Chains A and B, each alone.
Chain A
Amino acid sequence: MTVRPVRRKRALDVPAPRAAARLRPLPLAAALAVLAAALLAGLLVGAAGLPLGGVLRALADAVPGVRLDSGLTGVERNVLFELRLPRVLMGALVGGMLALAGAGYQGVFRNPLADPYLLGAAAGAGVGATLVIVAVPGDPAVGVPLAAFAGALGGVFLAYALGSTAGRGGSGVATLVLAGVAVSSFLAAVQTFLQQLKTDELQRIYAWVLGGVGSADWRSLALVAPYAAVSTVVLLLHGRLLDVLAVGDEEASALGLSAARVRLTVLVAASLATASAVAVSGLIGFVGVVVPHVVRRLAGGSYRIVLPLSLIGGAAFLTLADLLARTVIAPGELPLGVVTAFVGGPFFVVVLRATRGTVQT
């Protein structure tokens, strides 16, 4: 067999694609358009309907250096800026963080079923929140986010510490998942024990567990936005490395990657994203697993695509889910976690069927 030393001339045949998988402008623009539409719908629709033109002008007016008369009444301005906008932004932030973290966990564990709560973030946050609700007198709105945030990170840290001590020399990833299961069960038991001590707080604990962004305000947004920003930057930078990690630790090492370092960095960033979401929204399932899968189906499996589009898609999805949560049985509200599963489940099935055989995940 002969080996050509130089590239063959291709005169007539179609050149094969020579570009790496990466986020193309079209899918990105489409995702951003969906997100923008979702955010706008979130702002306009509610108990008090707001006019589209007025909202757009009021938003433009809020940009420094722009002066526009929105024509909104004082009450409408209040609804927009003190209720709707923080709530919509919080929904987007939480959804984006959960989906991004889910994609990161799936990459690190090379397992499509990994979700942001896999390593004990949910159970840890549950313990933290419950502890504050049952043990700290006064307004839980202040302490619960901090305790949930700390609990989520504590749960992950516990699982990681346990997993890396037990898994020394063995298959690290599987041990880590098992440690996560063990830590989650243990912390869930602690949480149940705590709530049984004070059954009169069950209602509030239950409301937190079901999750929601109804109590969002600018203060809570400011609390978690910095963490969300840091983890977003770190995770988005790791797309290519997660693609390398997809061939397995040993091969990734042979390709010059420090697999352990990449895994730890992504885990920390994804856990930080999860903790910032959980701190302000309680436990919202489904988003972290399903959004990355929908993205894979529609746009491709490379983490350079999955990570950014999960961020945008998760934000849009949760914004819309929250819109439903607060309008379907208005003036009552559905728990957000119920809506995500109720709407997202069938939607996922539709996407799975529609894209059958197109992309392997």
Chain B
Amino acid sequence: MLEFITQHIEMCYLIILMIFVGIELIGHVPSVLHTPLMSGANAIHGVVIIGSIIVMGQAEHTLSLILGFLAVVLGTLNVVGGFVVTDRMLEMFKKKK
């Protein structure tokens, strides 16, 4: 286990730094923007789709291929739906006057 961590020490540093970046980014946001922010963050974690593409691109068996296909579809839904919904919300946030 320890060996595994030291092998991936770079990733571990990245995790810790990103935790702080995430906190820093959200810390000073007015609550009025929380919904679009949540929705935007929702779209960003759709990055999981890359994992599903990698899996699918190496799938050998039909079952893996079917599951992979499903995973890519779901991931795309998350990405596309997430960004489009966020954009629709923000479209309405234009400042009037």
- Whether chains A and B associate is no
Question: Which A residues fall within an 8 A CB radius of B?
Answer: none
